[in-house]
Amino acid sequence: MQRRKFLQLSSLSVASLSIKQNNLIPNTIKKPIVISTWDAGIAANKAAWQVLKNNGRALDAVEQGVMATENSINCCVGLGANPDREGIVTLDASIMDENYNCGSVAFLERIKHPISVARRVMEKTPHVMLVGSGAQQFAVAEGFTLEEQKLSTDAQKAYENWLKKSEYKPVINIERSESGHGPFAPAKLESGEWNHDTIGMLALDNKGNLSGSCTTSGQGFKMRGRVGDSPIIGAGLFVDNEVGAAVATGQGEDVIRIAGSHTVVELMRQGLSPEEACKKTIERVIKAKGIEKCKQIQVCFIALNKNGQVGAYALQKGFNYSVCYADDYNKLTNSKYIL
């Protein structure tokens, strides 16, 4: 009994120490907790928190959370997003629970909530991934509405603007930059807010179970058929309930190359904090691509471990992430970065 108490206390103090080190959350708070990418994560966390605070499952929280973003007209996720080069919005999404169950969809058109279709793939099929017309056919068979093929006003404007030059420069995809944005970056809204084309979310529920989700329109003005990291389990998203979870945003090709989210989780398994694991994984992106080419892109990871510790790292300045663990704590933090 005494020994068990001692072990509990010592593991708590180790967790508390790291939590204090990243200066983010008080050491008394461990779960439930939700973390998501970018400033759109604030609204998404709010939706996820409603599930978590009522003793709900992390899986439900990460689905409900990013559905709020897919619904939002102020974010380049979901059907309001920038289209591909042919002027068509195509969506990718993935979800993973505490038992290595996972589902994803890619190159999906005219469906408002790709994250929910990904969950149905996970729960109702023997497969992990459905793409294109097959994914759409499955969604419709599951009762999802086939929406009108029409660009949002912002996306239409951005597309017409892009068509003037029709430049294809896939290496330039800094989702948020100080100086402006390249042809593949999302447009700045009239409100002055930046759009981002991906939201990733990780949650730890009251039972101590982890889940994650990721949903995106991918790169604006991408080649038709292009699929990024977000629907690829192990690249855009990975959850191991023994260790932790990670999700990526930024240039998907460079996340896929190093199996980014799986790498973050495996580094946490080796004892690294979420922040250290994200940083080492970004270093691997640099090693794979070379530092000069890395200056043209953005790649970012967020991570959450089994103790409720959070962390993030980015290649470049400008990435932020949202953390929520109470009704009155849902805050945006600037990520550290390497370049």
- Provide the binding-site residues for ligand GLY, judged by CB under 6 A: 198, 216, 218-219, 228-230, 249-252
Catalytic residue among 37, 198, 216, 249: 198
Tokens of 151: 């660009």
Q: C-alpha angle 270/275/276, rounded to 5°?
A: 45
Q: Which residue is nearest to ligand GLY (CB)?
A: 228
* Nearer of residues 116 and 249 to ligand GLY, judged by Cβ: 249
* Nearer of residues 175 and 266 to ligand GLY, judged by Cβ: 175
Least distance from C-beta 320 to ligand GLY, angstroms?
Answer: 16
Strand 129-131 relative to strand 102-108, pairing: parallel
Phi-psi region of 281 (alpha: psi -120 to 50; beta: other; left: phi over 0): alpha
Token pair 């939700």 is found at 34
* Nearer of residues 51 and 199 to ligand GLY, judged by Cβ: 199
Least distance from C-beta 196 to ligand GLY, angstroms?
Answer: 9
Phi-psi region of 132 (alpha: psi -120 to 50; beta: other; left: phi over 0): left
Least distance from C-beta 323 to ligand GLY, angstroms?
Answer: 20
Catalytic, 198? Answer yes
* Nearer of residues 56 and 260 to ligand GLY, judged by Cβ: 260
Cα separations in angstroms, 166 against 155, 161, 170, 171, 278: 15, 9, 12, 15, 35
Give the integer Cα–Cα distance in Å for 310 and 303.
Answer: 6
Least distance from C-beta 295 to ligand GLY, angstroms?
Answer: 18
Show which residues are catalytic: 198
